[in-house]
């Protein structure tokens, strides 16, 4: 049986530690967990089984393994220390028998985004970012449809537009909408991305209006927002959004503040990247999703294993639309699909969507 492994790590330290070690989660404070976790070894989490290809009937087996670092550790510790911890976790995956390794959450953006990790391991590595892009863009398009926002006349925004995922999401969404705002921290990087997209749109004979900004205030202009930063705290607040808008939050930790859910009943916030997994998959671990559903980055690793593509796939800071299209075809062939929407750990129902639409009509000028 072909195999894979996927690295996870604590995003919300106390909550996530409790999912594997309930007693430790109860007695240890978040401060202690953050202070001590860099000294922990990699952790075996669970075996994953029951994934079966829709097209071939092939079954694969996998494992969750955990790197003990939090997002703050990954961003703030010396790069060599972070690499060492991720590589040690990858070697645990090798010992378990994995034939390909996926890097989850902040382990996928550390340093050179998987290149060094792949070089040091004996098995191929992917960040899963290509399929994350595909599912994020599909989610925005589907949310626009159910919110009755015509794509071709819409204004969109991508927050974190100059990151590896953000750039390709911006490129794909720019082909759908009338106007797009690219939001990031560095104006020079935003200018370079804008120039690239303008040239691309001109070559395709489409004149999408493209704006750039380092301020989140421009989100008030957008009906469709995809946010995918590497921030360690929420960046999108209620005052940034217009009534009736859709926000697809791909980032973990979340980019969208919980204040949005509490204060804005006229906004549809959806979690980006949730995928239906083919077969009767059992993860033997609660990572926060309903049964038989996974993050798109996890699904990329699974799909490559089902396809027998045991090679480095999505690595580094540059992702191409060709990669996104290829992994989408592979994943759909084996039965992976965009799943139903969730918002802050809750399923989004048709009743919720209708309430958002009604409130938006009340609040719109």
Q: What is the CATH number of the domain that holds 190?
A: 3.40.50.720
d(CA 273, CA 143): 13
Q: Structure pTM?
A: 0.90
Residues 215 and 151 in one domain: yes
* CA–CA dist 21, 123 (Å, integer): 29
255 and 245, same structural domain?
yes
Helices within the chain (DSSP H only): 13-20, 22-27, 30-36, 71-76, 79-96, 115-120, 129-146, 164-174, 187-203, 258-263, 296-307, 321-334, 350-363
Q: Rounded distance, CA 244 to CA 240, Å?
A: 13
Q: Residue 13's pLDDT band (boundaries 50, 70, 90)?
A: confident
Nearest to 253 by CA among 285, 288, 302, 213: 288
Do 30 and 173 sit in the same domain of this protein? no
220 and 348 inside one domain = yes
Q: Examine the domain organization and report whether 144 and 293 are in the same domain.
A: no
Domain that holds residue 193: 133-273+341-363
Confidence of residue 36 (pLDDT cuts 50, 70, 90): confident
Residues 27 and 40 in one domain: yes
What angle separates helix 129-146 from helix 321-334, to the nearest 10 degrees? 80
Same domain assignment for residues 35 and 160: no
State the burial class of residue 316 (Cβ atoms within 10 Å of its Cβ: 0-12, 13-18, 19+).
middle
pLDDT one-digit tens code per residue, 287-317: 888 899 999 999 999 999 999 999 999 999 8
The per-residue pLDDT for range 240-267, each reduced to its tens digit, is 999 999 999 998 888 999 999 889 999 9
Structurally, the chain folds into a number of domains equal to 2
pLDDT digits (tens, 9 = 90+) for 145-161: 999 999 999 999 999 99
Phi and psi based region of residue 125 (left: phi greater than 0; alpha: psi -120 to 50; beta: remaining): beta
Q: Are residues 141 and 170 in the same domain?
A: yes
Please tell me the predicted confidence (pLDDT) of residue 149. Answer: 94
């Amino acid at each position: 049986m072909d195999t894979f492994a996927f690295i996870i790590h604590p995003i919300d330290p106390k909550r996530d530690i409790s999912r594997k070690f309930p007693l430790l989660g109860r007695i240890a404070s978040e401060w202690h967990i953050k202070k001590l976790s860099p000294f922990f070894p990699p952790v075996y989490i669970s075996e994953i089984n029951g994934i079966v290809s829709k097209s071939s009937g092939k079954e694969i087996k996998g494992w969750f393994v955990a790197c003990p670092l939090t997002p703050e550790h990954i961003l703030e510790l010396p790069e060599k220390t972070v690499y060492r911890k991720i590589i040690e976790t990858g070697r645990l995956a090798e010992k378990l028998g994995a034939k390909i390794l996926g890097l989850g959450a902040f382990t996928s953006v550390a340093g050179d985004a998987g290149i060094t990790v792949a070089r040091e391991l004996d098995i191929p590595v992917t960040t899963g970012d290509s399929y994350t892009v595909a599912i994020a863009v599909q989610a925005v398009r589907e949310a626009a449809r159910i919110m009755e926002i015509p794509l071709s006349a819409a204004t969109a925004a991508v927050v974190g537009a100059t990151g590896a995922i953000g750039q390709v999401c911006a490129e794909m969404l720019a082909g759908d909408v009338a106007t797009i705002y690219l939001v990031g921290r560095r104006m020079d990087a935003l200018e370079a991305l804008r120039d690239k997209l303008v040239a691309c749109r001109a070559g395709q004979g489409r004149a999408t209006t493209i704006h750039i900004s380092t301020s989140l205030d421009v989100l008030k202009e957008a009906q469709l927002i995809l946010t995918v930063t590497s921030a360690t705290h929420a960046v999108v607040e209620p005052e940034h959004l217009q009534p009736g808008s859709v926000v697809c939050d791909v980032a973990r930790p979340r980019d969208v503040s919980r204040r949005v859910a509490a204060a804005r009943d006229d906004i549809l916030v959806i979690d980006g990247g949730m995928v239906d997994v083919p077969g009767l998959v059992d993860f033997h671990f609660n990572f926060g999703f309903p049964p038989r559903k996974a993050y798109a980055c996890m699904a990329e690793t699974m799909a490559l294993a089902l396809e027998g593509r045991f090679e480095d796939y999505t690595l580094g800071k540059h992702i191409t639309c060709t990669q996104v299209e290829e992994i989408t075809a592979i994943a759909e062939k084996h039965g992976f699909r965009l799943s139903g929407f969730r918002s802050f750990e809750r399923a989004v129902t048709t009743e919720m969507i209708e309430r958002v639409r009604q409130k938006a009509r009340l609040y719109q000028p």
